[in-house]
Structure 1
Amino acid sequence: MSNINMIIEERPADIGNFLVGRLLPFRGKRMVGPFIFIDHMGPALLKEHQNIDVGPHPHIGLSTLTYLFEGAIMHRDTLGTAIEIFPNQVNWMTAGKGIVHSERTPEYLRHSDKKLHGLQIWVALPKELEDMPPAFYHAEADQIPAWETDGVSYKLIAGEAFGHKSPVPVYSKLFFLEIKSPTTKTIRLGDELFGEAGLYILEGSIESEGNTYEPKRILVAKNSQLCEFVIHANTTIYIFGGEPFPEERFIYWNFVATSQEIIEKAKKDWKEDVFPRIDGEGELIPLPPELPHLRVKY
C-alpha cells in the first residue's frame, strides 16, 4: 500500500508584482503539522526595471521562514530589524500578537538584472503563544546543522531530526529538512520523523513504490514513520512537518488565529492604523476587500 496520501501541485498566485507557486494552503489539506503556508518564489530573472517591493504589511499568530536559493531580499520590520537575506541563510520572524514588515530588492540591485529563487513559509503558533511579543531571528548559513550520510547531504533548517537541532527558535515540535543527492540512493527516514510529513521536490525526481514524482509538488505521507523512497541523481527535496495542533486555524490575508474574533480584531486594527509603523517606510498595503478566510480543521 502506498504511503502517499495526497499530491499537491504548485498553483500560480500573484503577490502584487511577482508570480509565485502556491503550495499550502490547499483545499484538501490546509496544513501539514504546524506548516500552514508555503510559496515557491521563482526561479525568476528580473530585469533592471523589475524589483520586489512588498510594502509594509501585518502578520499575527505565526512565524515566517524565508529561505533563498538565489538572489537577495531586504527585510525591515517594526522591531527595528533591517537585514538582507542571502541564499542558505534563514530569516525567522515571529509575529505573535502583531508585527509589520516589508520585503524589497536591495538598493544596490534595483537597477541591474538579478535572479530570485526561494521559499516563503508560515508556521502557525501554538494557541498559548499566538499573543506572544513579536521576535526576529537571523541564522547565517554556517549556523545551520549540515552533514552527509552515504553520499547524501542533509541540512536541518529548522526544528529537530537525526539527533541534530537547528538554532532557529521554533515554538512547536517540527522539522524542516533539506536533502540533496548527486547519485541515486534509497532514503529511509523511519523513526526520525513524527507527526505529519510532507515532501517537496525542488529539482530532480524521486521514486516511491514504482511511481516517479517530479518537481513543483508536495507529497503528503499517510504515516511519517514509513518514509522510504528512492532519490534520483541530482535531486533536491525538502521534508517538513511535525505535530499537528488540536485546534482549528483561521486564515485571512496575512493573519492566522485560533478564532475568527482574533482575525476580526486584527483586520480592524490594520484599517485603523493601530499596528506599529516601520521607520523609514511609507505607504501601507491596504486590507484586501471581500477576501474570504480559509477555515482549517483537523
Structure 2
Amino acid sequence: MSNINIIIEERPADIGNFLVGRLLPFRNKRMVGPFIFIDHMGPANLKDYQNIDIGPHPHIGLSTLTYLFDGAIMHRDTLNNHIEITPGQVNWMTAGKGIVHSERTPERLRHTDKELHGLQIWVALPKELEEMDPEFYHADSVDIPAWEQDGVRYKLIAGEAFGRKSPVPVYSPLFLIEIKTDERKSINIGKDLFGEAGMYILEGGVESEGVVHEPKRILVAKNSSLCEFVMEAGTTVYIFGGEPFPEERLIYWNFVATNRELIEAAKLNWQQQNYPAIEGESGYIPLPEPHSALKPKGK
C-alpha cells in the first residue's frame, strides 16, 4: 500500500511583477504540520530594468522563512531590520501580533541583469503565541547544520531532526531539511521524522514504490515514520513538516489566525494605517478585495 497520501503540483501565481509556483495552501491539504504556505520563486532571469518590488505589507500569526538558491532580496521591516538575503542564508521573521515588511531587489542589482530563485514559506504560530511580540532572526549559511552521509548532502534549515538542531528559533516542533545527491541513492529517514511530513522535489526525480515523481511537486506522506524513497542522480528535495495544530487556521491575504476576530482587527489596522512605518520606505500595498484576499502579499 502506498505511503503517499496526496500529490500537490505547483500552480502559477502572480505576485505583482513576478510569477511563482504556489504549493501550499492546496484545496485538499491546507497545511502540512505547521507549514501553511509555500511559494517556489523562479528560477527567473530578470533584465536590468526588471526588479522585485513588494512594498510594505503586514503579517500576523505566522513566521516567514525566505531561503534563496540564487539572487538576492533586500528585507526591511518595522523592527528596523534592513538586511540583504543571499543564497544559503535563512531569513526568519515572526509576525506575532503584527509586523510590516518589504522585499525588493537590492540597490546594487537594480540596473543589472540578475537571477532570482528560492523558497518563501510561512509557518503558523501556536495558538498561545499567535499574538506574541514580533521577532526577527537571520542565519548565515555557515550557521546552518550541514553534513554528508553515504554521498548524500543534508542541511537542517529549521527545526530538529537527525539528533541535530537548527539555530533558527522556531515556536513548535517542526523540521525543514534539504537533501541533495549527485548519484542515485536510497534514503530512509522515517525514524528521524515526526508528525506530518511532505517532500518538495526541486530538481531531479524521486522514486517511491516503483513510481518516479518529477520536480515541482509535493508528496505528502500518510505516515511520516515510513518516509523511504530513492533519489535519482542530480536530485534536490526538501522534507518539511512537524506536529500539526489541534485548531484550524484561517488565512486572509497575509494574515493567519485561529479566529475571525484577529483577522478583522488586522484588516482594520492596515486600512487605518495603525501599524508602524518602515524606515526608508514609502507607500504601502492596500488591503485587497475579498475575492483576491487569498493571494498573499500585494497580489
Q: TM-score, normalised by structure 1?
A: 0.98
Contact 1:204 1:214 in 2 (8 A): yes
* Cα distance in 1, alignment partners of residues 206 and 30 from structure 2: 24
Name the residue aligned to 2:219: 219
- Runs of 4+ aligned residues of structure 1 deviating over 6 Å after TM superposition are none
Which residue identity lines up with residue 263 of structure 1 in the other structure?
I
* Cα distance in 1, alignment partners of residues 28 and 178 from structure 2: 25
Which residue identity lines up with residue 54 of structure 2 in the other structure?
V
C-alpha displacement of 1:291: 3.2
Name the residue aligned to 1:36: 36
Alpha-carbon displacement from aligned partner over 1:165-223 (angstroms, at most 9, x marks no partner): 00000000000000001111110012100000000000000100110001000000000
Name the residue aligned to 1:187: 187
Name the residue aligned to 2:266: 266
Name the residue aligned to 1:236: 236
Equivalent residues in 2 for 1:24-173, closer than 5 Å: 24-173=24-173
* Cα distance in 2, alignment partners of residues 290 and 241 from structure 1: 29
Which residue identity lines up with residue 43 of structure 2 in the other structure?
P
Per the alignment, in what secondary structure is the counterpart of residue 191 of structure 1?
helix
C-alpha displacement of 1:24: 0.2
* Cα distance in 2, alignment partners of residues 286 and 92 from structure 1: 24
C-alpha displacement of 1:130: 0.3
C-alpha displacement of 1:266: 0.3
Name structure 1 gaps, 5 residues minimum: none
* Cα distance in 1, alignment partners of residues 114 and 293 from structure 2: 35
C-alpha displacement of 1:106: 0.3
Name the residue aligned to 1:254: 254
Contact 1:252 1:291 in 2 (8 A): no
* Cα distance in 1, alignment partners of residues 288 and 49 from structure 2: 26
**RMSD over equivalenced CA pairs, Å:** 0.8
Per the alignment, in what secondary structure is the counterpart of residue 266 of structure 2?
helix
* Cα distance in 2, alignment partners of residues 190 and 218 from structure 1: 17
* Cα distance in 2, alignment partners of residues 264 and 58 from structure 1: 13
Per the alignment, in what secondary structure is the counterpart of residue 108 of structure 1?
helix
Which residue identity lines up with residue 239 of structure 1 in the other structure?
I
Which residue identity lines up with residue 25 of structure 1 in the other structure?
P
Alpha-carbon displacement from aligned partner over 1:31-58 (angstroms, at most 9, x marks no partner): 0000000000000000001000000000
Alpha-carbon displacement from aligned partner over 1:211-238 (angstroms, at most 9, x marks no partner): 0001000000000000000011110000
C-alpha displacement of 1:251: 0.1
* Cα distance in 2, alignment partners of residues 175 and 267 from structure 1: 31
Per the alignment, in what secondary structure is the counterpart of residue 279 of structure 1?
coil
C-alpha displacement of 1:268: 0.5
Deviates more, 1:114-123 or 1:272-281: 272-281
Distance 1:32 1:164, change over 3 A: same
Contact 1:67 1:88 in 2 (8 A): yes
Per the alignment, in what secondary structure is the counterpart of residue 291 of structure 1?
helix
Which residue identity lines up with residue 193 of structure 1 in the other structure?
L
Which residue identity lines up with residue 30 of structure 1 in the other structure?
R
C-alpha displacement of 1:162: 0.2
Distance 1:248 1:105, change over 3 A: same
**Aligned-pair identity (%):** 76
Query: How many aligned residue pairs are there?
Result: 294
C-alpha displacement of 1:280: 1.4
* Cα distance in 2, alignment partners of residues 87 and 26 from structure 1: 27
Contact 1:252 1:292 in 2 (8 A): no
Name the residue aligned to 2:8: 8
* Cα distance in 1, alignment partners of residues 38 and 270 from structure 2: 24
